[in-house]
Amino acid sequence: MITRKKILEYIELGEGLNVEFKQRFSSPEKIAKEMIAFANMRGGVILLGVDDDKSIYGIESEKSDIDLIKETAEKFCEPKVDYQIEHFNIENKDILAIEIIESKIKPHRLQDYKKELDLKSAQVYLRVNDKSVLASKEMIKLLQTQTKGKSLQKYVVGVQEKIVFNYLDKNETITVAELSKQANISERRASRTLIKLVRANLLLIHQKNNGESFFTYLG
């Protein structure tokens, strides 16, 4: 349960990896994007009635906003997102704290009414710093393998993997496009190689605000 003290700390520190401010409920799609991003990562809190500059505006109707949040979580997120709502009075104004629980069935995406996730069109969001951004195909695939509990055992390091390590010995990061060029292989194959190295706990994957993934050594 989120306490009033914690809410005041969130407001003081501002938006970040686990906190998002929303002055008002603008649209189900925009709120769903934030809920999905938190569910796909380590969870987080949306403060409804607080602006980006930390100003407290409050909400107009608690019941109406709670109903909209419920509809958003259940109808605009696929699969639906788990959450909890707490009401607080700050500076004599009512705000809502929507706590999103880290999901065990990642990845979540904006509702597209497709039976299965389509890598080409699915709008899967992740939290990067203080923004919710579209996930790269590599991030989506890793979320899928994490949910299925798949781990790589007795992973054999081959020619392409050695190219990755040699490249990282000279550069801090590597991308799918860079491996594709260095190894003279397709980007699809390069992507698969880098994902396997992450699953084998040999590399870390990171994502930029523009949705592009890059990879580094652990640590």
- Residues 6+ positions from 149 with CB-CB distance below 8 Å: none
Instruction: Look up the pTM and report it.
Output: 0.86
List, in sequence order, the alpha helices (H) in the chain.
Answer: 4-13, 28-40, 62-75, 137-148, 159-170, 176-183, 187-199
Measure the CA–CA gap between 178 and 176, rounded to whole angstroms: 5
Closest C-alpha to 45, from 98, 103, 9: 98
Are the beta carbons of 117 and 108 closer than 8 angstroms? Answer: no
Spatial CB neighbours of 168, under 8 Å, sequence gap ≥ 6: 174, 215, 216, 217
Tell me whether the CATH fold assigned to 4-134 matches the one assigned to 143-217: no
Domain 4-134 has CATH 3.20.20.30: no
* DSSP secondary structure of 162-186: HHHHHHHHHSS-B-HHHHHHHHT--
Architecture label for domain 143-217: Orthogonal Bundle (1.10)
Domain ranges of the chain: 4-134, 143-217
Per-residue pLDDT tens listing for the chain (219 residues):
789 999 999 999 999 999 999 999 989 999 999 999 999 999 999 999 999 999 999 998 999 999 999 999 999 999 999 999 999 999 999 999 999 999 999 999 999 999 999 999 999 999 988 999 999 999 999 999 888 776 666 778 899 999 999 999 999 999 999 999 999 999 999 999 999 999 888 899 999 888 889 999 986
